[in-house]
Amino acid sequence: MDRAEKKELVAELGGVFHKTSVVVVAHYSGLTVAQLQKLRKQMREAGATVQVAKNRLAKIALEGTDVASISPLLKGPTLIAYSDDPVAAPKVAVAFAKDHDKLVILGGAMGTTALNVDGVKSLATLPSLDELRAKIVGLIQAPATKIAQLSTAPAAKLARVFGAYANRDAA
């Protein structure tokens, strides 16, 4: 890698660290190429990205960003997972780490907040942004359904009462 490529990589990583909302750092030593490809595919499907970068270049890119707190974690064979959705990258990383013990989550950052391993795991248990939106839509629609049921309920009760009187007289 020559100087120009290194500068380009640092600029690219700097842009990533400035715009993403969450970054997860993990050791990947011992994972096969197939397993890393599977992790990348799962991250892509969730809207997240996995990148293996030289620690020294990543530390240079981290300077002056909100997620600079992950700099001490960059030792040894590390990978960086990031996403715009604050739950996507941690969720996939934690799920993959459960199945593959060679992936060891070291920590991460969400904005200016540094996260330890437990912080990343608790972030992974939260519902995703799409799930939260679906719940909100459901909550908004529920009162309208209740109002419709209440407005038709008196008429239905009245019809049942009339029906009961009619059946009683016929019998």
In DSSP notation, 90-117 reads HHHHHHHHHH-TT-EEEEEEETTEEE-H
* 100/147 same-domain check: no
Q: 70-116: per-residue pLDDT in tens? A: 889 999 899 999 988 888 889 999 999 999 989 999 999 988 888 88
Q: Within the chain, where are the H helices?
A: 3-19, 33-46, 55-62, 88-99, 117-124, 129-170
Average pLDDT over residues 1-11: 86
Distance CA 130, CA 122 (A): 18
* 68/53 same-domain check: yes
Residue 18 belongs to a domain with what CATH number?
3.30.70.1730
Answer yes or no: pTM beyond 0.75: no
The total number of structural domains in the chain stands at: 2
* 117/137 same-domain check: no
Domain span including residue 166:
128-171
* 25/108 same-domain check: yes
* Residue 124 pLDDT: 85
* 12/28 same-domain check: yes
* 82/163 same-domain check: no
Distance CA 132, CA 154 (A): 35
Q: Are 114 and 72 in contact (CB under 8 A)?
A: no
* 64/94 same-domain check: yes
Confidence of residue 147 (pLDDT cuts 50, 70, 90): low
Mean pLDDT of the chain: 85
Q: 87 by DSSP, 3-state: which?
A: coil
Task: Quote the radius of gyration of the chain (alpha carbons, Å).
Answer: 26
Average pLDDT over residues 10-23: 88
| Closest CA relative to residue 79, chosen from 58, 109, 101 | 58
* 162/87 same-domain check: no
Average pLDDT over residues 53-73: 88
Q: 79-91: per-residue pLDDT in tens? A: 999 988 888 889 9
Q: How many CB atoms lie within 10 A of CB 107?
A: 19
pLDDT > 80? residue 41 = yes
* 63/141 same-domain check: no
Q: 22-32: per-residue pLDDT in tens? A: 999 999 988 99
* 38/58 same-domain check: yes
DSSP symbol at 20: -
